[in-house]
Structure 1
Amino acid sequence: MRAMKETVSATGEPVESPIPPAPGAEQYPSLALVNSVIALPGGQFVDLLGTPAAANQWLVERDLAPVDAGMREMCAAQLRALREQIRSLFDSRVAALPALPAALTAVNDALTRVPTAPLLKWDDKDGPYRAAPHPTTEIVDHALATLAADAADLLTSPDAERLTACGSAPCNRYLLRHGRRHWCSTRCGDRARAARAYARRTRPESG
């Protein structure tokens, strides 16, 4: 794969997406995660998880972490790694190909990293009770588990039939298709139409 130039802020500040969320990304955080690295014309890209501060902001915007989580590079790297494994599963689903075992393992590992049921606790005064584990000390693990569960839900839901890749090169985003639309944004749709029009104008006449 050709290396892409990074356009993340050199100061490490969070960056804004240059285009609005793709259809379905606000409903499925895992789709937003896969789309958090955005290919741009000219071989450049924007990585919304490119720095710890940017990754922290991305999680905060989806209620997956507090503002003062203090994200470290190791944690941001875990988030980016899960992004690539979920992208691999989306690739396989759209292409109707078998999933890579490593991608399945990564998602299942994230799913089972934290308890999913309220645990039994015991208060000295009031006795036994059930409570979910507090995520403060396991913020990243809880975020990864939530995103992995969301990806599993999407891939096994009826919406998976509408999962498709944006049809406008060089865009690398995924979307949930509505009707015949295969573009993730108006900008990509305009670019695809312009490319087709240019191809028609420059096509040599037969005969």
Structure 2
Amino acid sequence: MRHMEAIAAEQLNVQPAPGAAQYPALDLANSVVALTSGQSVDLLDTPVAAGQWLAGHDLAPAAAVLDGDDAARLHGLRAHIRSLIDSSIHGGPASEDALDALNDALTGAPSAALLSWNPISGLHRTAARPRSEIVDHALARLASDAADLLTGADAERLTACGSNPCNRYLLRHGRRHWCSTRCGDRARAARAYARRTRSATP
């Protein structure tokens, strides 16, 4: 029980990595968090959590209700975005499966605002979608955001957090390559420990 409480406490302290506020796709990629305990926490582990995350990023109405299939589709896109970010950072070839998944999401929903009418505003354009299309549009926007991140000016700033065992990505600012102050402190402490160990070795 105490172990689970420690995991929950660490999870509550997860802060967005640099660049995540600018790129929702980066925040999505970082929504599975490796903890120092060796465990990992999926911040979108339930349909309710996934729906709240989408609503919090203005990708779905607050009242939207996701089901298990919707959440699974979001998890799948997240895995493919992580794969493409990792390929970009390490200069490796991009996975064909990940590219296909992103392109499928990009083309899976029309981008035009719909034409609507009501007695108050008359004819007007609206981004409101039928329930069946909410997730399609959210995934399309996330895929577009990921494509912009991976091909735009910020792509050169993409890096992985340099603090083990963290698995998050960030946009590097200057020499900083940690996703949080906590990870930076942990990395500095590990380096200091390594130096002390080396100096103590005869």
Q: Classify the TM-score, shorter chain.
A: 0.7 to 0.9
| Cα offset, 1:18, TM superposition | 2.5
2:7–2:37 CA contact under 8 A, matched in 1: no
Q: Which residue does the alignment assign to 2:83?
A: 88
The answer as to 2:112 corresponding to 1:114 is: no
Structure 1 residue 17, shift from structure 2 partner? 4.7
When normalised by structure 2's length, the TM-score is 0.86
- Distance (Å, rounded) in 2 between the aligned partners of 1:179 and 1:8: 31
Q: What number of residue pairs does the alignment pair up? A: 190
Query: Quick one: structure 1 residues 206 and 191, their matched pair in 2 at CA, closer, same or farther if it must change by over 3 Å?
Result: closer
Whether contact under 8 Å (1:24, 1:31) holds in the other structure is yes
1:23–1:177 contact (8 Å) kept in structure 2 = yes
Verify: 1:39 aligned to 2:34, yes or no: yes
1:17/1:46 contact within 8 Å kept:
no
In the other structure, the counterpart of 2:94 is: 99
Q: What SS is found at the alignment partner of 1:171?
A: coil
* CA deviation after TM superposition for structure 1 residue 46, in Å: 1.7
Q: Distance in 2 between matches of 1:190 and 1:39?
A: 16
How far did residue 48 of structure 1 move? 1.1
Query: In terms of mean alpha carbon deviation, does 132-141 or 39-48 score higher?
Result: 132-141
CA distance in 1, matches of 2:116, 2:15: 47
What amino acid is aligned across from residue 92 of structure 1 in structure 2?
S
- 1:67 Cα offset (Å): 2.2
Distance, in Å, in 2 between the alignment partners of 1:56 and 1:140 is 9
Distance 1:92 1:186 in 2: 26
Percent identity (aligned): 62
Gaps of 5+ in 2: 118-122
Structure that is richer in helix per residue: 2
Q: Structure 1 residue 8: deviation in Å?
A: 8.9
Equivalent in 51, 55, 77 of residue 60 of structure 1: 55
* Separation in structure 1 between the aligned mates of residue 97 and residue 109 of structure 2, nearest angstrom: 20
Q: Which of these residues, 150, 154, 174, is aligned with residue 149 of structure 2?
A: 154
Contact 2:7–2:35, Cα closer than 8 Å, also in 1: no
